[in-house]
Amino acid sequence: MPAATTNKPAPGFHIFDTAIGRCAILWRGGFVVGAALPESSDNAMRASLARRFPGAAETEAPAFVREAVRKVVSLLSGERTDLRDIPLALEGSDFERSVWEAARAIPCGEVRSYGEIAGGIGAPGAAQAAGLALGRNPAPILVPCHRVLASGGRSGGFSAPGGVATKFRMLEIEGARRPGEAGLFEDLPLAVSPGR
């Protein structure tokens, strides 16, 4: 994922329907530069995007963004859709971009811990810093920070709208599990299943 440079034009954005609500993708040139999970309304979404990406303009999506939208909609509908080929250019420190790349490598339907992410980028002991980096993830879903949990399978928080309930809802849609283990939600009674 290329590092961002300064003096770039403001990005365009597109709001679209998914199984979990209206999401958004932002782009500049031929790269996605951000994404957003559902807000309480489209106006709340636009206000949030304006704070996060000053000057962003709602406009017609180019072909590569329409394809990214199709894939996100498919993933959030329960299909095993790989989003790793969507071109990203995210602004962040070298450490943050390393964490985001590690999270992006987690296959659909699997989870990792913050410690595993930190160890995987050569920073063992930096689980908390990895968690902070994921909290600043500018492109949720595309960088699937919802697939990263605290030790012992605890949620570890989620800074996107809807908080941990949104995180668990996306994991449930994906049928999430740790490699070689039963699904995270197989033993939960339906009445208390996340997102219900």
Q: Which residues are catalytic?
A: 145
Place of tokens 């309304």: 41
**Pairing between β-strand 21-28 and β-strand 12-18 as defined by DSSP bridges:** antiparallel
Which residues lie closer than 8 Å to 93 by C-beta, 6 or more apart? Answer: 133
* 111/146 Cα distance (integer angstroms): 8
- The residue length of the chain stands at 196
| Burial of residue 85 (number of CB atoms within 10 Å: 0-12, 13-18, 19+) | exposed
Nearest CA to 134 out of 143, 126, 125, 123 is that of 143
Nearest-angstrom CA–CA distance, 159 and 66: 26
